[in-house]
A and B are shown apart, each in its own frame.
Chain A
């Protein structure tokens, strides 16, 4: 295959410069700053800092509360990704089968993606409200069964559902596109061979959608780790008793609210390494099983 290339490297550099500058200003510069802070104790108002070596990392990694936050974040990421992918797949299959009214339904499904995370949080705060919301009906049948303000597991469940709900529409778009790109002739041929709906799905559609699955998996997991802030902030504030204190929310509350810039920088570096590692693992091991056609 013939490769296209520039004879003049300066033109090439000029072309990529805007992108590189943006990445430098919004990623490499802040990251290097955070790395520096992670090794010092930074005074919030400026005015100097002290070099402390790996003390910050020792403090963070030796803190059981931090590991609790890591645990909660992993549960959140895996559960909301699983729920969001499963729901989106089912919905996409329905849309793809062109049942009555599927066009309106298709548009309606895409809308939630345009809703900002804090708005999602506020909406779910009403839905899950134990005293006045939709879930209060549970309490009117079995008193005190549903109380996410005291029960940490229920609070986490609530955050997972809200997080998954927000991802569903994004996943839906990709799954629907993947389904629609599968040649009809393949499905018709397997139908002729006597394969029913579920069988066709398992043997034809799902394998052909594998690249999309992989893409969505990577995006969803990364998104759950880094973009869950708004939901937690409006829904639970990380409580009760740190049950929903996701890593990204803990960074915010320690750094911005608590003025512990160095502790928050340390946690940011760890979170970044974790997301890089997860993505690496996914590309190294999961992608091997994906076949692109």
Chain B
């Protein structure tokens, strides 16, 4: 019937008929929606993976919708979910994990792949990455996707001119480098933007010190934060002192010149950021800027541990049809192929998530030459030691509010309104109230 009508229409108006036929053909493919948070260049790469998937087969069609930011992707998905209009797949960032896990409104990917008989070698995933997205049983809940970790970027020429020939590995060496740069006439040895992800969370990982009790929240909801320990306070006090001494210069988006731009223009010699910035720095660096990346420093008294994965993973949500799940599973399996992993990492600054993907790239000499040179230092940082209970990750409810408590209090301390110790104590006390409130919201539930 449908076909006859289409044919009639095609006979009647040729152009319109062609359009109808086109849509009739597409209607046979199972459609599913995927909402992602990456935007700009990175968003376009995600869109490209969808196009590649849709062109690679005609059974399924991925409808990929950019939501402009991680925040918005999760916010909009929650709103849509409550109205029953949610996508099958959503890209969710670390801070959205706790609520999603406790809600139970998702389809664990490892289970899904098994249900649809799709073979994935789960042991192929880097433990530092897989652990982050896994249940206490080790089963993966979401599919690792865009993965990053923090690094610092440095201007080789400026450091060499100041007599520093090897990249500082400890904060002690870093301070020497700052002073050497300043003595050499640099007005901005390092562009600093206060950031809880690097200054507190990843800092704790590298030093193997807890961010919160209960193994950073993994073991239960009755958790208290521990980020006001003497080591944390000492580090933030150092940062404040370096700012006061002019070794660090505040460069934030709000101040008009973000740290990355200050580095790109050659004004500042060092800045800290995610490895995801590697591609952007390579693209935007002024002609002749000789730059490198290195692992974030640690204090000499504490042996270095692994950093933890940042970025986001893909979650399958509940309440969809089996056909849609089959389509979503095909898409996730497609993303996990070595070819697609290479496409994604070579077009963004992200790192491969599987050992196989990494080995394939290494064999090709991918990381030997510009623009990808040394980008795999991020993988070395992630895998520096096997993850411990304290360096596996952080699983806290109200994570975004806790981060903002930290930022606000540290801001106050940097502006000289209180000491760093007072600031971190206040932030910890307020964070504990948030955690208690979160535990009460999910009374009687535990992380699966």
Contact = CB atoms under 8 A, between A and B. Distances in A.
B343 interface: no
A63 to B, nearest CB: 9
Interface stretch (A173-181, A210-218, A257-265): A257-265
Interface stretch (A112-120, A130-138, A182-190, A268-276): A130-138
Nearest to B104: A47
Contacts of A262: 441
Interface stretch (B56-64, B113-121, B247-255): B247-255
Contact of A126 (B256, B398, B437): B256
Interface in B380-436: 398, 400-401, 404, 407-409, 411-412, 414-415, 417, 430, 433-434
B437 A59 contact: yes
A44 B404 contact: no
A89 B216 CA distance: 58
B279 interface: no
Interface string A147-176: 111111000000000000000000000000
Contacts of A150: 250, 411, 414-415
Contacts of B441: 41-43, 49-50, 262
B169 interface: no
A152 B409 CA distance: 13
Nearest to A235: B254
Nearest to A254: B401
B206 to A, nearest CB: 26
Interface string A42-76: 11111101101000000100000100000000000
B440 interface: yes
Contacts of B136: none
Interface in A242-267: 242, 253-254, 256-260, 262-263
A257 B400 contact: yes
B103 A132 contact: no
Contacts of A198: none
Nearest to B414: A150
A43 B404 contact: no
A150 B414 CA distance: 7
A157 B235 CA distance: 32
Given A45-B103, A45-B105, A260-B437, A239 B408 contact: yes
Given A45-B99, A45-B100, A152 B415 contact: yes
Contact of B437 (A41, A237, A239, A257): A41
Nearest to B400: A258
Contact of A258 (B102, B103, B401): B401
A241 B442 contact: no
A253 B404 contact: yes
Contacts of B401: 253-254, 257-258, 260
Interchain residue pairs A-B with the least CB separation, the first 7: A129-B256, A45-B103, A241-B412, A258-B401, A241-B411, A149-B255, A240-B411
Interface residues of A, number: 41
Given A50-B440, A133-B256, A259-B99, A44 B78 contact: yes
Interface string B275-316: 000000000000000000000000000000000000000000
B179 to A, nearest CB: 21
B256 A65 contact: no
B414 A257 contact: no
B443 A43 contact: no
A205 interface: no
Contacts of B105: 45-47
24 contacts: A41-B440, A42-B441, A45-B99, A45-B100, A46-B103, A46-B105, A47-B104, A47-B105, A49-B441, A52-B440, A59-B437, A125-B254, A147-B255, A149-B255, A150-B250, A241-B408, A241-B417, A257-B71, A257-B401, A258-B398, A258-B400, A259-B78, A259-B99, A259-B400
A262 B401 CA distance: 14
Given A253-B404, A258-B400, A260-B398, A131 B103 contact: no
B75 interface: yes
Interface in A1-55: 41-47, 49-50, 52
Nearest to A52: B440
A240 B409 CA distance: 9
A236 interface: yes
A44 B103 contact: yes
Given A150-B411, A235-B254, 14 more contacts: A43-B441, A43-B442, A45-B81, A45-B99, A47-B105, A59-B433, A126-B256, A129-B255, A131-B251, A148-B254, A242-B408, A256-B71, A258-B400, A259-B400
Contact of A240 (B99, B100, B415, B430): B415
